[in-house]
């Protein structure tokens, strides 16, 4: 993993129990909590980024969206 940064986070006791129970049921150990949190944060950031990108196209009609997609596909095939 290379260099790591130590975080101090606060969560509700129920969340702590739920996550640790989930990890334990799958045979994961205490150190796996950090990997679980990092993976979860990455997925959440991706989800937020996609939501922002999608919101940028809210004002397009379905026909305009289809045209934009067709144009992008054609450009990708040319390159």
What is the mean pLDDT of the segment spanning 52-71?
A: 93
What is the mean pLDDT of the segment spanning 12-27?
A: 95
State the pLDDT at residue 50: 95
Separate counts of helices (H) and strands (E) for the chain? 3, 0
* CA atoms of 49 and 4, how far apart (whole Å): 24
Residue 1 pLDDT greater than 80, yes or no: no
pTM of the prediction?
0.70
In whole numbers, what is the pLDDT of the chain averaged over residues? 93
pLDDT tens-place string over residues 22-56: 999 999 887 899 999 999 999 999 999 999 999 99
Spatial neighbors of 33 by CB under 8 A, at least 6 apart, are 19, 20, 23
Q: Tokens 């997925």 map to which residue?
A: 43
């Amino acid at each position: 993993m290379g260099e790591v940064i130590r975080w101090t986070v606060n969560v509700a006791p129920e969340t702590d129990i739920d996550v640790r129970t989930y990890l334990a049921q799958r045979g994961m150990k205490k150190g796996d909590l950090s990997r679980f949190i990092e993976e979860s944060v990455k997925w959440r950031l991706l989800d937020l980024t996609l939501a922002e990108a999608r919101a940028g196209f809210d004002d397009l009609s379905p026909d305009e969206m289809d045209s934009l997609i067709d144009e992008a596909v054609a450009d990708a095939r040319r390159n």
